[in-house]
Amino acid sequence: MMRLIPDAEHDDLHLGDRPLIVCDVDEVVLEFVTPFEAFLTGEGYELRPTSFRLHGNVFNRTDGSETPGEAVSQMLEAFFESHDEWQTPVIEAADTLARLSEQADIVFLTAMPPRHRAVRRRLLSRHGFDYPMIATEAPKGPAVLALHGDRPQPVAFIDDIFVNLQSVRSHVPQSLLRAKRLSERLPHGRRRRVQRFSRKDLAHQRPTGLALGNGFEACVFEHPRGPGQQTDGLGMLGLFHRAGLEDAGAISLRMGDRGINQRVAQPLPAPSGLDEKAGDSPQARIGRIVAIEWARHGPRGVPARHMCAWSHLHPAYRDPVIERDQPRRQLRLCSLFQMLLLVIPAQFLPLLRRQPEIAAPAAVTSPLRPEKGFQQWPEIGGDGANIQVQAMQSPVDQVAFPRIIRHPEIDELTLAHVDCDAFYATVEKRDNPELADKPVIIGGGKRGVVSTCCYIARIHGVRSAMPMFKALDACPDAIVIKPDMEKYVRVGREVRQLMEELTPLVQPISIDEAFLDLAGTEKLHKDTAARTLARFAARVEAEIGISLSVGLSYCKFLAKVASDLDKPRGFSVIGKAEAIDFLKPRPVSLIWGVGKAFTETLARDGIRTIGQLQMMEQTALMRSYGVMGKRLYHLARGEDDRTVHANEGAKSVSAETTFNSDLSQAKDLVPVLRRLSEKVSARLKASNIAGQTVVLKLKTAEFKSRTRNFKLEDPTVLADRIFRTGLHLLERELGEDRFRLIGIGVSDLTDAARADPPDLVDPAAARRAVAESAIDKGDSSIMTSASKRERLLIPAGILIAGLLLAALVYAGLTEIGGKNSAALMADAFLHSRLWVTSCFDLDCAHVDGRTYVVFPPFPGVAALPLVTLGGATTFGFIPLAILCLFLSLLIWIRVFRQLGASNPAWFWLVLAAGFSSPLYFVTIRADGIWFFAQAIGFLMTSLALHEALAGRLLSAGMAIACAFLSRQMTIFYVPLLLILSMRTDTPLWTAMRDKVTRAVRLGLPVLAAIGIYMIYNQLRFGSVFESGYAFIDYPPGVLKQRLETHGLWSPSYVPFNLYHALVQGFHARFEGPGNMELVGMDRFGTAFLVASPWLAMLFFTPINRRTVYSGMLVAGLVTVMLFYHSNGYTQYNVQRYMLDWLPAALIMMAYAIQRQTSPLFPLAVLWGMGLNAVTIATMAMVR
């Protein structure tokens, strides 16, 4: 008869009076996931099974970004248009359907856009599936109901998507299937038999099953063995109404010898396709069905006893039973649920498999726990429909089976990792039984993130660290509870106490997990470590009321891996013999320390699985990945020699908060950071511990996390010290980004007795400690005044030093005063011309009867205010240079903080920079344009570095453009600025779009400055490439002698110039190589490297992109200085050229001082400052 199906396109449906099988297509008779993954790969995308939706799990392989849902839908459209080129049939599917078609009509009901029906029709026919097909995007329940109609014969529905089974259950519940031949697959061992029964009287059978809601439950009835008889393998899994639905229509499946759960289980396998070696096809597809058997009436009087699907809520759940012998075959009970779903493919339920031999790589068993398969793998094929968990909630009863765990090495293994299951959520459910069968999320408000969630919520796709609004979208019925850390800590300590009763070797990893080494405890507990741990898990659940998972192995790495295999209530074993084979198919991300970024690095190198690492030599790995390569080599082979240390407790103490609205300004973030620092400090003091590494955590508005850390010289418990270090780290991140979360914490924990020793270098430290002690006692006034004093101390000191320097200058320490060509340039600009009437400096060019200052124009622009007020002969250049010095040092205070230099480290860095010879020399010689341009260029370069570290690339580009228009060599700083603006922990060649955007924003002002300079040259000298140095009238003799006699690049000059740069403290008169006369103490201060410990500090500089490029820049500029700029006369001119590379050297020193804790650093600075003071005082007395 012809039937019409609503909301669908279909072939002519001429159905007879035979039973009807309604069968899905994708992953039932045709492969879908594997070919779709191949299709995505060809398009430059990849499928990551991280939740229960197809949308949201497709990512761009190039930049790792999530593909929008609309784009995924378009790719599905393209796939279905060409799926006849991709999809292949499931093994045995055609033969099975041909066999079934002898006793029943068959109709395909596929969830796909009807417009693609013709393409799929051709594909099915080509593979021998010549059965009518219905294509619909609507729920399948109405379609099955229309097919059923008033048929006298039953209708059986086969599908791999749970939401489709639910839809059919709500419309035609009698169409769901039950399976036979289950009894021999049920666990052996101790059993609780409810009643004996006969084969003809199903009412006396012992049922177990899972609740399906709305009055329905699925039950399995096991037939007993008669005396001396083997089981006949009969059983039923069916849908029955608890109120006693008698005429449900019993439809059952008879499975072949290679039925469900036939192949050996390997937990967490790579989601590959077929096991060709075993000749097996993916689990639970239609190729396993031998026949469908029909009955007019179902069993009567079904008892209401059943096991809830959520066994972690079941009060009668039995403890693990540890056995050493090799048993007969058994079934993990979760496959009962798998039989109900019937056709969920193996690659999406890798945990739901039978283990015929417990000598498998990880000997684990589990109770009836369907959510385990869904929590890891997405539901593909339902176009993102979430699993409807509410259909599986019902009261529980007292039916339970033991778990039998066997492994050939189980008696020898003693190292375990114990991890509480969904700890926060489990504690809340324990304290509120009404939450037992409800999805629970632990987290903050709508703008917060999920701290953790129960396993019911995880079935919906909720996961830790997910934004709360996404979690509530995925699971709108979830109950959100704010974390109660005090309660969780208390419960965690109770679990820890029970652990310490097992062994003294307990190494806590966090509040809810720890490593245990039970070696040598067999006599104490009179049993093996495995049995002791099994009893321990039962005791924790009985006494504390929470469940946990145990991983047992021979090393810490694999024990941690094992504990994650079988959650919740898991007990997993990984032995040494199978470790390499177990690890081989696993992804490299399974290895500790291999995060997302490093995983992508390895993937670019063609390494995706641990098996690929196992094939590589240690030397090759270390050559590519350094010390991490050695770690990869050993862990990939299951080699981990770390031992359990009882004194290694919690690794960090932290506090964080999520804002109600995104923040970006320091004035908003700093008060929050201070409050969090005080909270961390209070916890440290309460626990009598201290931390040495301060960790700052930020999360941007785009949910990208940033973690920055800095190691202090000594451990601390002081909130002020934690806050100040965190503030330095925060200032480096401030820029254009907006933040939704901020956190501060400390790691490298130690005893509080070692914290905050007296600081001889930083006298204010003691005052801050006293102030904080007063804060702890409730007196905040001392703290406020101490903080204000310190904030004013450094700028005031620098200003006073600058005024003293000005007084010395005006006392007569300079030979030239009031004559600066920059003033002449400014005066020319005021009169709308580029030439000057006269020139005070050496670098003046004479072209066509006019005199030009060859310097770039910015020094003249900077002098405009002075010239406007005082005329071209103003005496204000030295005060202006002092102002530039003062501003530069203030900027460098912030730069050092951005680079993570701690207090007092940055204090000494500023002193070393401010009182070293080059800045002194340039400042007191600022009446000459050479030196004034250096002062202006140094200020602009410092400002550019500050802006780049803050991420403000446009303003950094404008500053370096001004520096270039003062000192041309600062153009070399552009790549360094770009690198400084990037994170050092990300690969250089990733996220290229962002890097190109940064480069454009930085480069545009610089290109504009280059254009201005070229136009400036064209207007003056008639060529954009002529800067005027060819027209300078140098004094005869010196430069000519150098060029003609020794050559411009003569190595004869290098030793002298190098000596002059390093040891300058004397005045040298130079008349060529080999003719140098020392005539007395240098009038203008000691050398840069004598006044500061730069050279020694370079040996402590960590190697990263920033310091490497800084070093390259320093080396390049020093080379130019040594070979070219030392062009005669007294060699003290080389001092001003040091300012060209001083900013890059300061960057390196700020990194170096993070590792250098020697008191020699401040002593060297004091030595240099003293030497400068002695030099200036001596010259003052000489005059």
Q: Hey, which residues are catalytic here? A: 513
Please list, in sequence order, all residues whose beta carbon lies within 8 angstroms of the beta carbon of residue 1120, skipping any fewer than 6 positions away: 969
- Joined tokens for residue 725: 């270090």
- Joined tokens for residue 999: 């480069």
Give the three-state DSSP class for 226: coil
Q: Is 1024 left (phi over 0), alpha (psi -120 to 50) or beta?
A: alpha
- Give the Cβ contact number of residue 1008 at 10 Å: 13
Please list, in sequence order, all residues whose beta carbon lies within 8 angstroms of the beta carbon of residue 598, skipping any fewer than 6 positions away: 628
Contact (Cβ atoms closer than 8 angstroms) between residue 1102 and residue 1154: yes
Strand-pair partners of 1078 = 1068
Which of 11, 164, 159, 23 lies closest to 98, judged by CA?
Answer: 23
Phi and psi angles of residue 328, each rounded to the nearest 5 degrees, phi first: -75, 170
- Give the Cβ contact number of residue 435 at 10 Å: 18
- Joined tokens for residue 370: 């369907």
Q: How far apart are CA 858 and CA 870, in angstroms?
A: 19
Q: How far apart are CA 395 and CA 397, in angstroms?
A: 7
**Residues in the chain, total:** 1183
Contact (Cβ atoms closer than 8 angstroms) between residue 636 and residue 589: no
* One-letter amino acid of 529: A
Q: How far apart are CA 484 and CA 424, in angstroms?
A: 8
Q: How far apart are CA 569 and CA 369, in angstroms?
A: 10
Q: How far apart are CA 765 and CA 769, in angstroms?
A: 6
- Joined tokens for residue 142: 């109405």
- Joined tokens for residue 876: 């204000």
Give the three-state DSSP class for 66: strand
What stretches of 899-952 show up as alpha helix (H) in DSSP?
A: 905-914, 917-924, 929-949
Q: What is the DSSP string of 331-360?
A: --THHHHHHHH----GGG-TTS---S-TTS
Burial class (CB in 10 A: 0-12, 13-18, 19+), 888: buried
Please list, in sequence order, all residues whose beta carbon lies within 8 angstroms of the beta carbon of residue 566, skipping any fewer than 6 positions away: 267, 351, 364, 365, 366, 372, 549, 572
Contact (Cβ atoms closer than 8 angstroms) between residue 946 and residue 937: no
Q: How far apart are CA 901 and CA 711, in angstroms?
A: 10
Contact (Cβ atoms closer than 8 angstroms) between residue 835 and residue 850: yes
Helix, strand, coil percent content, the chain, rounded in steps of 5:
45, 15, 40
CA geometry: angle 689, 691, 695, nearest 5 deg? 140
Which of 633, 554, 651, 641 lies closest to 594, judged by CA?
Answer: 633
Whole-number Cα distances in Å, 670 to 734, 738, 901? 11, 14, 18
Q: Which helix (H) or strand (E) holds 1067?
A: strand 1066-1070
Sheet with 155-158: list strands edge to edge: 8-10, 133-136, 105-111, 20-23, 155-158
